[in-house]
Amino acid sequence: MSASKGSVLMYFCAISGVLLLSLSSVWLNIERMDLAYDLSKMEKELGSRTALASKLELERNNLISPYRLKRLAATYGLGPVGPGQMRLMTGQDQGK
Amino acid sequence: MTKRVSRSREGAPTRAKTDTGKLKLLLVGLFFAAIWLTLWGRAAYVQLYLGPELKKGADRQSLATGFELGERGRIYDRNGSILATSVESKSVYVSPIKVVNAAQTAQILGQILDVPQKNIERDLSSKKGFVWIKRQIGDREAQAIEAEKLPGVFLTSEYRRMFPNHHSAGQVIGFVGVDGVGLEGMEKHFEERMAGRQAKYVVQRDATGRRLYLDDQGREMDIRGADVRLTLDTVIQDAAEQALADAVTRYNGRSGMALVIKVESGEILALAHFPFLNPNAASLSKTSARRFRAALDMFEPGSTMKPFVFAAALEQKVIDQSKIFDCENGKWVLRGKTIRDTHPYHWLSANRILRYSSNIGTAKIGLALGAQPYYNTLRKLGFGERSGLNIPSESPGLLRPAKEWGEFDLATISFGQGIGVTGLQMAKAYMVLANKGVAKPLKLILEPFATEQPPAVRIFSQQTVETVLSMMREAVEEDGTGKLARIPGVVVAGKTGTAQKAAATGKGYGEGNVASFVGLFPGDKPEFLIMAIVDEPSPVALGGIVCAPTVREIAIKTLSYYNRLPEAKAAAPQAEPSESSVHEKATRAPSALTGANVPDLSGLPVRRALEALGKRGIVPTLKGSGMIISHQKPLPGEPWPEAKSSGKGDGFVLWLHEGTK
């Protein structure tokens, strides 16, 4: 009798194990799909942010290009330094 | 053990009934076993026999092949400023069979994209499954199209090449076609390195067609193109382009080029061409504006060649600095052909021949030197071969073998006629003089780093070069042809050139000239080599007038950028050509600077106040931090303090505070 009980228990454990593994597999698959959706979404966002960063970097480079800075400087009455106009600023000159 | 036997009411045993029950149980068991086996059989059939086929079908439904195109590499200047980069932009295409209302679609697309409606209607009537409408459109246009949700109209991402510095170094950088393939300049030269590669990978699709990220398989490779870093400096490049454009425009030239080279390293800091080429809109430019003239265009250099015949003659001990030559009063007939000078001279020493740029004197030195030694020197200097920068389609120039030279050829080649050179060759040859007689290769590329460096070869002795440089200094600092290149406080060595251009007919010379000037800054220990060339200037064609001021202007900006300009005290105050214009532009100039009393400097930018005081020879002491003068000592209206020779603490104190400008 105890032997048959042991067999039943063994079958029960085996079936439970199989069920558990199957459920785990299903759960993992669902998680994997969720992650895949999230990753796709994040990839898309990363792509769009990278593209935006590239465009902003381009814009920044355009704004600080000598061509633009020269025009901006001219509006403030600034121009290139000429001979005899340069003064190299040292720490001593700047005072406290 | 007691045996249980069921009995009937009459007492008879019921064995037959028990047997039927067992049979039933057996039948049920067999039935379920059959079902079980059928299920297992079916499962095995599906899994083992049909499995591979079904998997293929499922994969076809759920998996798709994805492509990813890498970004093209960038081009940087020496300081890391972007010269060329790729940004993602949208392109519009249609699938005509999916378009519902062609007329309305064409109208909407035409309005958004600023494309003629007729063209779009023609595209929509196509029987193809895929037709481009417009490529690389702006973000606003893409958003507008997305908002319309037009059936059959799709957007796809592509990379668009952008050049943030507009026309700066346009011919050097080059440009790409609409498919992102380099067509000119560095874009073409480094096509293989910079081109983005393509990754092919598998993605999973869900029922709605959305693509899911599975793994990195197929995308492990680096598909981004490699970057390129040039030796150019955008600031110097802009200075060179501005000065060159002014010269070409002012003197009605056809085109021009200018180079700035750092002597120590041979790195080209600026390589300017005019007319400009804006690579952002290269298709709108003329073909002639796209030429990398410094490498492709060959010209007769004229007098800028003279220092080389002097150097060769000095090296061969044919002349010394004081040896005199008869310059024939400006007109000399040699082999039936006349050589002229712009000014008549009689007897001139060698140094004065270079200073006044006498053709006749130089021709006589060339004749004294001989054809073969001069030819050998020119070859060693790099004439007659490509510059080594590996520019696509670079010209090797034109230098005929010495054995083909007649006496008149030798005379004319001595003063730079009858020889064809490129701007890069000329710069490379002058680098030998700037580098104390040792040939140094030019550099335009910092990255990828050139692993093979040609060995340094001494061509002239240091003494020879010192002598030639002293002659070139005379050409600028004395009453020579290059005096318009003088910069107060900086010793300048230079040589002017005014060459005749060959006639279009191919026989003799025409009316056109090429004006040029090559300057070395400082002239005693050159740090920068600056060259400007203007093609066909008019009405003035002299290199000393057309190009020397251009080189001067570039040099001032270059020297100030590298803090090599003399400080306020060292410079002669009277020699400041642009000072007045700077002050005119000032928002508020300090008043009464020339008066007996100190003006009110408060509120002025510190730079302008220093300029103003520097003009009077006063170097003030600055206190505090910021860019705006808050108050001063002496106070406005007080007498000017005496300037001290030390340059420090002239008794004038300016207090600073933070300001917006």
Give domain limits for chain A. 11-74
Does any domain span residue B83?
yes
Same domain, B513 and B461: yes
Same domain, B377 and B320: yes
pLDDT of B126 higher than 90: no
Same domain, B359 and B497: yes
CB contact under 8 A, A40 and B214: no
Confidence check on the interface: ipTM exceeds 0.95, yes or no: no
Model confidence at B590, pLDDT cuts 50, 70, 90, reads very low
Looking at the structure of chain B, the number of domains it has is 3
- Kindly state the DSSP code that residue B300 receives in the 8-state scheme: -
Q: What is the pLDDT of residue B127?
A: 82
Q: Is B533 left (phi over 0), alpha (psi -120 to 50) or beta?
A: beta
Interface contact A96, partner B, CB < 8 A: yes
pTM score of the predicted model: 0.76
Report the CATH number that the domain containing residue B635 is assigned in CATH: 3.30.10
* B501: three-class secondary structure by DSSP: strand
Tokens 């270059």 appear where? B558
Same domain, B207 and B246: no
- Which residue pairs from B210-216 have beta carbons closer than 8 angstroms and sit at least 24 positions apart in sequence? B210/A37, B210/A40, B211/A40, B211/B64, B211/B66, B212/A33, B212/A36, B212/A37, B212/A39, B212/A40, B213/A36, B213/A39, B213/A40, B213/A43, B214/A36
User: B136, B188, B448, B163: which is closest to B292 by C-alpha?
Assistant: B188
CB contact under 8 A, A96 and B165: no
Does any domain span residue B643?
yes
Does any domain span residue B316?
yes
Closest Cβ–Cβ partner in B211, B565, B623 for A96: B623
Q: What is the pLDDT of residue B595?
A: 65
CB contact under 8 A, A88 and B563: yes
What share of chain B has pLDDT > 90, as a percent?
Answer: 52
Does any domain span residue B21?
no
Summarize the confidence of residues A62-85 as an average pLDDT.
Answer: 87
Summarize the confidence of residues B15-43 as an average pLDDT.
Answer: 88
Q: Which of B622, B629, B650 to mutate to test the interface with A (most CBs of A within 10 A)?
A: B622
Same domain, B249 and B174: no
Six token digits for residue B518: 């090559």
pLDDT of B2 higher than 50: no
- Chain B residues 517-556 within an 8 A CB cutoff of chain A: 556
pLDDT of B184 higher than 50: yes
Residue ending a domain, among B196, B230, B264, is: B230
Query: Residue A75's closest chain B neighbor by CA?
Result: B585
Chain pair A-B, CB pairs under 8 angstroms: 145
Same domain, B519 and B467: yes
Does any domain span residue B490?
yes
Same domain, B130 and B241: no
Number of Cβ within a 10 Å radius of residue B640? 19
Same domain, B351 and B380: yes
CB contact under 8 A, B165 and A84: no
Same domain, B480 and B593: no
Sheet holding B267-274, edge to edge: B267-274, B255-262, B528-535, B509-521, B493-502
- A82 interaction partners in chain B (CB closer than 8 Å): 556, 560, 565, 576-579, 582
Q: What is the pLDDT of residue B264?
A: 92
In contact, B534 and B248? CB cutoff 8 Å: yes
- B84 interaction partners in chain A (CB closer than 8 Å): none
Summarize the confidence of residues B118-140 as an average pLDDT.
Answer: 87
Query: For A71-85, B177-191, B357-371, which range has the lowest pLDDT when averaged over its residues?
Result: A71-85
Does any domain span residue B441?
yes
In contact, B412 and B502? CB cutoff 8 Å: no
Same domain, B174 and B223: yes
- Chain A residues 12-41 within an 8 A CB cutoff of chain B: 33, 36-37, 39-40
Same domain, B418 and B299: yes
Beta pairing partners, B276: none
Q: What is the pLDDT of residue B277?
A: 94
CB contact under 8 A, B166 and A67: yes
Closest Cβ–Cβ partner in B165, B212, B571 for A84: B571
Q: What are phi and psi of B542, to 5 degrees?
A: -75, 135
- A54 interaction partners in chain B (CB closer than 8 Å): 85-88
- A85 interaction partners in chain B (CB closer than 8 Å): 565, 568, 571, 576, 579, 582, 611, 614
Which H helix or E strand runs over A61?
helix A2-63
In contact, B124 and B102? CB cutoff 8 Å: yes
- B611 interaction partners in chain A (CB closer than 8 Å): 85
Number of Cβ within a 10 Å radius of residue B445? 18
Q: What is the pLDDT of residue B9?
A: 52
pLDDT tens digits, residue range B437-455? 999 899 999 988 877 777 8
- Quote the mean pLDDT of chain B: 85
Q: How far is CA B344 from the centre of its chain?
A: 44
pLDDT tens digits, residue range B49-83? 998 999 888 888 888 777 778 889 999 999 999 99
pLDDT tens digits, residue range B592-639? 455 677 888 888 877 777 777 766 767 777 777 767 788 888 888 887
Six token digits for residue B521: 């800054």
Interface contact A67, partner B, CB < 8 A: yes
In contact, B124 and B96? CB cutoff 8 Å: yes
Residue ending a domain, among B510, B526, B561, is: B561
Interface contact A94, partner B, CB < 8 A: yes
Q: How far apart are the first and last CA of chain B?
A: 116
Q: What is the pLDDT of residue B636?
A: 83
Six token digits for residue B121: 């209607």
Does any domain span residue B17?
no
- A37 interaction partners in chain B (CB closer than 8 Å): 210, 212
CB contact under 8 A, B624 and A88: no
Q: In terms of residue numbers, what domain contains B163?
A: 67-230
CB contact under 8 A, A82 and B556: yes
Q: Is B332 left (phi over 0), alpha (psi -120 to 50) or beta?
A: beta
Six token digits for residue B172: 């050097």
Same domain, B148 and B173: yes
Q: Which of A30, A65, A68 to mutate to test the interface with B (most CBs of B within 10 A)?
A: A65
Summarize the confidence of residues B324-331 as an average pLDDT.
Answer: 90
Q: What are phi and psi of B63, to 5 degrees?
A: -110, 145
Q: How far is CA A65 from CA A76, A85, B24, B77, B229, in A?
A: 17, 24, 96, 12, 17
Report the CATH number that the domain containing residue B180 is assigned in CATH: 3.90.1310.10
DSSP string, B222-273: --SPPPEEES--HHHHHHHHHHHHHHHHHTT-SEEEEEEEETTTTEEEEEEE
**Distance (Å) from the alpha carbon of B659 to chain A's nearest alpha carbon:** 13
CB contact under 8 A, B576 and A85: yes
**Distance (Å) from the alpha carbon of A72 to chain B's nearest alpha carbon:** 12
Higher pLDDT, B260 or B22: B260
Report the CATH number that the domain containing residue B557 is assigned in CATH: 3.40.710.10
